[in-house]
Amino acid sequence: WGLPFAGLLLSIATGPLLFHHLWEHHYGKIAAGWAALAVVPLAVTFGIPTAGEAVLHTLLTEYMSFIILLFALYTISGGILLAGNIHGTPLTNAGLLLIGALLASVIGTTGASMILIRPMLRANDNRPFNAHVVIFFIFLVSNIGGSLTPLGDPPLFVGFLRGVDFFWTTVHILPDTLFVGGLVLAVFLAIDLVLHRREAGLPKIKDPTPDTKVRLRGLANLPLLAGVIGAILLSA
């Protein structure tokens, strides 16, 4: 039963690279084909009524809950803006990545990414070497940081819906998360320090973002975000 899921993940990873034209126009059909490979054997083995009940149960109790959570975090966090210009020094970048990684398990990787990606991009928009910043942002804020609670990572949320204790991952993999996160952050800081020193000998690029006072906009969305988090905790 896991092979169709593995095939779907492999298609998502390789499709845009190896056959991007086909993937761009038919990715929905490809995904439906992999789903059919899971449902059809289920129907043949256990009967159509049982298969239909399993699919319906998955859609209503897991998929819809998962989509609603992502939609809520995405829309609410998208209305929160850390405005103002922050200068992207290695220590500042590392600090933003650390804050984002810590936030990811509280407001989700989606929420943390939506709030911090814009100030992160603005902070480094005048640097000649800045591609690595986004790459490590994806590693730390959008992935590793969300590994401690069901709010942080979609697979963990699905496990929570299936009865896994809310704080199971916090209790069992906190040391591993701290080790991996700390290691990745250290690698980023080393790379950023080297590139920042190399930039010192290059012509200065005019900062496209004017210097303004750093402030947080969209404070009205914070109670909504707290409400989403509270609703999940109360259902634990």
Q: Where in the chain are the domains? A: 2-46, 77-234
Question: According to the model, what pLDDT value does residue 179 have?
Answer: 96
Question: According to the model, what pLDDT value does residue 139 have?
Answer: 95
Backbone angles phi, psi at 84, to 5 degrees: 100, 160
pLDDT at 144 over 90: yes
- Per residue in 48-86, pLDDT tens? 888 888 888 878 777 787 788 888 888 888 888 888 778
At 178, the amino acid letter reads: L
% of the chain residues with pLDDT over 90? 28
pLDDT at 176 over 90: yes
Backbone angles phi, psi at 167, to 5 degrees: -100, 15
- Per residue in 111-141, pLDDT tens? 899 889 999 998 898 888 899 999 999 999 9
% of the chain residues with pLDDT over 70? 98
- Indicate the pLDDT class of residue 110, thresholds 50, 70 and 90: confident
Q: How far is CA 51 from CA 39, 44, 57, 165, in A?
A: 7, 9, 10, 28
Backbone angles phi, psi at 216, to 5 degrees: -105, 120
pLDDT at 1 over 70: no
The string of DSSP letters for 99-158 reads: HHHHHHHHHHHHHHHHHHHHHHHHHTTT-S--HHHHHHHHHHTTTGGGSSSTTT-HHHHH
